[in-house]
Amino acid sequence: MNQASNDNSQNDNSQEAKQRLRRHFRIKRRQRDDCLIQAAVEHMLEGMIARGALIRGGGHIGIYWPLPGETDLRSLPTAGKSWPLALPCSDGAGGLTYRPWDGDPLPPDSCGIPAPQTGRLLMPQEIQILLVPALAVDLHGVRLGYGGGYYDRLRADPDWKGVRAMVVVAQACISPVDLPRSAWDLPFDGWVSERGVQWSGESKPAAPTTAEDWC
């Protein structure tokens, strides 16, 4: 078997493992407490402002339009917290763009998800932090999504890779062992769950096993 064939075989196995794990974590995330996750996100943002890591009004907070099973962060502007928010939009060619969102109703994009499709596109330097949903994340910040690759392609751009990016995930879906990782899977800076914020690398797996073994 040549190297190319071996690489293709490994990639196929990784994709099969990811599909099994997606089914597993879709069930696990039903245990989430959305109120606690929402509070943890707000606490994280306030803490980052206090440390000077974020500047109120200094840039947008990139959120997402929640799909079933995902924590809804669209209420972040309430309670006097005037976060300038941005939402992603599929460009119809496999990519994502971000535009400001003021809370108005939105039409669906090419993926069928409500998204801002008019107005100016935001540049990476105009977004202070990206909050990204996930089915699961491991202790190295490797995210398990739905398989579309939208955030992977976005963050493959060096400018977007430089934007701080956090996974929003149920505590039950934080894998204590490594998730399958493809060459294009870039680790995130950390995650937010019911238990608060964890930055990638602050904890390590207890044993060199895989998430497939764990579940």
The residue ranges of every structural domain in the chain are 27-214
Q: Is the pLDDT of residue 78 over 80?
A: no
Predicted confidence at residue 132, as pLDDT, reads 98
Choice between 104 and 58, residue whose per-residue pLDDT is larger: 104
Amino acid at residue number 21:
L
Average pLDDT taken over every residue of the chain: 87
CATH value of 27-214 in 1.10.1040.10, 1.10.10.10, 3.40.50.10420, 3.40.50.2300:
3.40.50.10420
pTM of the model: 0.86
| Contact indicator for 213, 177 with CB cutoff of 8 Å | yes
| Contact indicator for 131, 61 with CB cutoff of 8 Å | yes
Q: What share of the chain has pLDDT > 70, as a percent?
A: 84
User: For the ranges 17-21, 26-30, 180-184, 200-204, which has the lowest average pLDDT?
Assistant: 200-204
- What does the pLDDT look like over 5-57, one tens digit per residue? 445 545 567 889 999 999 999 999 999 999 999 999 999 998 988 888 887 77
Give the separation between CA 113 and CA 108, rounded to whole angstroms: 5
